[in-house]
């Protein structure tokens, strides 16, 4: 295994109990520090794939290795290394205050009280949540909840952060705020996997685009090369898809 | 979300918030015992003590008034059913017993609201674990996790009811006066929604390496907590002694 490789997926197939096959023989490798955009129409298998990286689902056949360890043998290691930000931020909230919710993950890792506190403070600062630290999470706005979900995950200090539809139900400032934090995470050395069907918002910042179609990887290339093909896979192409992909950024 | 103010933890720094959760549980059990063992003086004492405790915890009833209507309606049902069931023992007795039952129900609801408002689920987890751990064969960690997670689920459940009712109103289908039909029409979508939310919550917990044996709050005995608890239990103890011997 290459030193730079952090995720290796080999012949991953996932079938549900009702017989539906969500993923079919997926092969993919992800290097440390990459920013990958996973796109595809609804039901193409993106979310199921993201849950395999966090060992929430186990392969029906094939395997997923995180840092050389298979998720089936060491799910705890997979969860420490890969943080997953869920699409519905509400379902991810378990703490009664913002501070407690962020502390929940590090406490589960059995870290000392001092380390937990340091991580919580750092996550609050990073995600601009300091002023909301003692607020009830359910009273936050959609954008704030999404930032809380990200803070709760980065407090566990994973090397890889997977975002499942992080822009859904957010207004323009909300999208900009969340995107800014995702880009900052990538710049600070995290490997980022962004799962979305709304590629316009993040294509400018990704190194690579993987398009899922009917449980298979149909395209794996740079965003610039992938953009002309996206409509064929049920993804809305960005308005200026002929332009340089870097021009599409929402962070101007 | 977040429309429902009842049965949530309300962050605060009052003495009641800071009280050792073991004493909070002791206080709650003491009050419930007094309500079941006592007479109207106990009810009055519990009412006064709960008012004092709520004021000291900075909880104002007007923030719960919409949700309290549901419980007041249930108290009315309890009163009415008991009143008619006991009429053969005389009008006054039936009226008195019905009133006491309704009053007791509201006091227990109030206790629950106050307890959840000043107790973090992680504290409840710690205290249930502390209580059950010495009992051999009892999965203390799992039961404690269930108890604390139930406090996380209650707001989701109430928010779900609120959302479904609003959706029904907006579609003009909330005119049914039959409470059984209304209950059924809300319960079906609610259970479906709740099951999906629970599945997502379970996955979210797993993805954050949830470990039921990890305590997210630690318990520390403080003498001032014991004194505070005694102050709030003493009036009931005195009343009980008076009730038994005089």
Q: How many angstroms separate the CA of residue B16 from the nearest CA in chain A? A: 17
Rounded Cα gap, residues A61 and A39, in angstroms: 23
Model confidence at A241: pLDDT above 80: no
Residue range B160-171: mean pLDDT, rounded: 80
The H or E element containing residue B202 is helix B179-207
* Cα atoms in the Cβ-side hemisphere of radius 13 Å centred on A24: 11
Residues 6+ apart with CB under 8 A from B119: B9, B21, B24, B151
Query: Which of the residue ranges A37-41, B98-102, B149-153, B222-226 would you say has the lowest mean pLDDT?
Result: B149-153
Rounded CA gap, B130 and B147, in Å? 13
Residue contact B206–A79, C-beta within 8 A: yes
Q: What is the nearest CA distance from B98 to chain A, expressed in angstroms?
A: 37
**Structure tokens of B33?**
């015992």
How much of chain B, in percent, has pLDDT values that exceed 90? 19
Report residue B234 CA to chain centroid gap: 22
Per-residue pLDDT reduced to its tens digit, B215-225: 777 788 889 98
Min CA distance, B5 vs chain A (Å)?
10
Retrieve residue A160's tokens. Answer: 């890889």
Q: How does residue B205 score in pLDDT terms, banded at 50, 70 and 90? A: confident
Residues B162-188, mean pLDDT to the nearest whole number: 76
Q: Are A154 and A185 in contact (CB under 8 A)?
A: yes
Chain B partners within 8 Å of A134 (Cβ)? 11
Per-residue pLDDT band at B174 (split at 50, 70, 90): low
Which residue, among B162, B207, B217, would best test binding to A if mutated, counting the most A CBs under 10 Å from its CB? Answer: B207
pLDDT band at A240; cut points 50, 70, 90: low
Q: Which residues of B touch A103 (CB under 8 A)?
A: 216
Residue A187 sits at the vertex; the CA angle it makes with A251 and A79, to the nearest 5 degrees, is 110
Q: Is residue A236 pLDDT above 90, yes or no?
A: no
A136 to B2: CB separation less than 8 angstroms, yes or no: yes
Helix axes B223-245, B40-56, angle to 10 degrees: 160
Higher pLDDT, residue B197 or B15: B15
Return the pLDDT at B175: 65
Q: Which residues of B touch A (CB under 8 A)?
A: 1-2, 8-11, 120-122, 149, 152, 155, 159, 197, 200-201, 203-211, 214, 216
Rounded CA-CA distance A100/A96 in Å is: 6
CATH of the domain at A59: 3.40.50.300
Mean pLDDT across chain B: 84
Distances (CA, A) of A198 to A230, A235, A250, B143: 11, 7, 12, 42
pLDDT score, position B1: 45
Query: CA B132, CA A16: separation in Å to the nearest integer?
Result: 38
Q: Is A172 helix (H, G, I), strand (E, B) or coil?
A: helix
Confirm if A182 and A126 have CB atoms less than 8 A apart: no
> Does pLDDT of B194 surpass 70?
yes
Residue indicated by tokens 């059995």: A110
For chain B, the C-alpha Rg in angstroms (whole number) is: 21
Asked if B152 and B9 count as a contact pair (C-beta separation under 8 A), the reply is: no
Q: Residue A62 and residue A8: Cα distance in Å, rounded?
A: 11
- CA gap B38, B243 in Å, rounded: 8
**What is the rounded distance in angstroms from the CA atom of residue A105 to the CA atom of residue A107?**
5
* Higher-scoring residue by pLDDT: B164, A241: B164
Range(s) of the domain holding residue A215: 5-248
Chain B nearest C-alpha distance from A94 (Å):
7
Residue contact A100–B120, C-beta within 8 A: yes
Band the pLDDT of B19: cuts 50, 70, 90.
Answer: very high
Residue A101 has pLDDT above 60, yes or no: yes
C-alpha torsion B149→B152→B154→B159, nearest 10:
-150
Residue A21, token pair as written in the block: 């096959």
Quick one: pLDDT at residue B2? 46
Average pLDDT of span A161-177: 88
What is the total count of domains within chain A? Answer: 1
Distances (CA, A) of A30 to A138, A160, A191, A245: 35, 10, 9, 21
Using a CB-CB cut-off of 8 Å, the residues of chain A touching B214 are 107-108, 110
Write the pLDDT tens digit of every residue in B22-59. 999 999 999 999 888 767 888 899 999 999 988 888 88
Q: How far is B120 from chain A (nearest CA, A)?
A: 7
Distances B185 to A104, B66, B158, B188, B191 between C-alpha atoms, Å: 36, 21, 15, 6, 11
Residues in chain B with CB shorter than 8 Å from the CB of A156 are: 208-209
The alpha carbon of A73 is separated from its chain's Cα centroid by a whole number of angstroms, namely 22
Query: What DSSP element (H or E) covers A184?
Result: helix A172-187
Q: At B165, is the pLDDT very low, low, confident or very high (cuts 50, 70, 90)? A: confident
Write out chain A residues lying below 8 Å of B209, CB-based: 76, 79-80, 105, 108-109, 156
- B-chain CB neighbours of A133 within 8 Å are none
For residue B79, what pLDDT band results from cuts at 50, 70 and 90?
Answer: very high
Residues B152, A94: C-beta atoms closer than 8 Å: yes
Distance CA A29, CA B137 (A): 46
């Amino acid at each position: 295994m290459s030193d730079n490789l952090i995720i290796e997926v080999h012949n991953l197939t996932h079938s549900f109990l009702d017989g539906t096959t969500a993923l079919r023989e997926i092969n993919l490798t992800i290097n440390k520090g990459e920013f990958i955009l996973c796109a595809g129409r609804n039901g193409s298998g993106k979310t199921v794939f993201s849950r395999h990286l966090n060992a929430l689902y186990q392969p029906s056949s094939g395997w997923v290795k995180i840092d050389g360890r298979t998720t089936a043998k060491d799910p705890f290691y997979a969860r420490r290394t890969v943080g997953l930000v869920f699409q519905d931020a509400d379902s991810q909230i378990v703490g009664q205050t913002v501070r407690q919710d962020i502390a929940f993950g590090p406490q589960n890792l059995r870290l000392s009280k001092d380390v937990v506190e340091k991580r919580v403070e750092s996550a609050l600062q990073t995600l601009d949540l300091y002023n909301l630290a003692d607020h009830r999470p359910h009273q936050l706005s959609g954008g704030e909840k999404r930032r809380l979900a990200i803070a709760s995950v980065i407090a566990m200090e994973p090397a890889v952060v997977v975002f499942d539809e992080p822009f859904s139900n957010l207004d323009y400032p909300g999208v900009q705020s969340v995107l800014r934090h995702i880009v900052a995470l990538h710049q600070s050395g995290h490997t980022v996997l962004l799962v979305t069907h709304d590629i316009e918002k993040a294509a400018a910042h990704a190194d690579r685009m993987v398009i899922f179609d009917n449980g298979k990887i149909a395209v794996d290339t740079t965003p610039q090369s992938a953009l002309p093909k996206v409509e064929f896979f049920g993804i809305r192409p960005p308005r200026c898809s002929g332009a340089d992909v870097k021009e599409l950024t929402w962070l101007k | 979300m977040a429309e429902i103010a009842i049965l949530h933890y309300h962050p605060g720094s009052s003495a009641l918030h800071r009280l050792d959760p073991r004493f909070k549980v002791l206080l709650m059990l003491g009050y419930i015992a007094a309500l079941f063992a006592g007479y109207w003086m106990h009810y009055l004492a519990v009412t006064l003590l709960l008012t004092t405790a709520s004021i000291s915890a900075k909880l104002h009833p007007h923030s719960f008034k919409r949700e309290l209507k549901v419980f007041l309606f249930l108290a009315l049902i309890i009163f009415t059913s008991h009143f008619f069931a006991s009429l053969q023992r005389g009008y006054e007795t039936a009226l008195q017993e019905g009133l006491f039952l309704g009053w007791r129900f509201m006091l227990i609801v109030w206790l629950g609201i106050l307890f959840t408002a000043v107790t973090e689920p992680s504290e409840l987890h710690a205290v249930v674990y502390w209580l059950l751990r010495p009992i051999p064969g009892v999965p203390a960690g799992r039961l404690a996790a269930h108890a604390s997670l139930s406090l996380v689920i209650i707001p989701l459940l109430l928010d779900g009811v609120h959302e479904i009712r609003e959706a029904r109103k907006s579609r003009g289908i909330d005119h049914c006066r039959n409470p059984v039909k209304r209950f059924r029409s809300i319960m079906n979508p609610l259970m479906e929604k709740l099951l999906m939310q629970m599945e997502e919550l379970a996955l979210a917990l797993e993805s954050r390496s949830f470990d039921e044996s990890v305590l997210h709050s630690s318990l520390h005995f403080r003498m001032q907590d014991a004194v505070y608890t005694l102050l709030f239990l003493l009036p009931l103890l005195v009343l009980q002694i008076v009730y038994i011997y005089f």
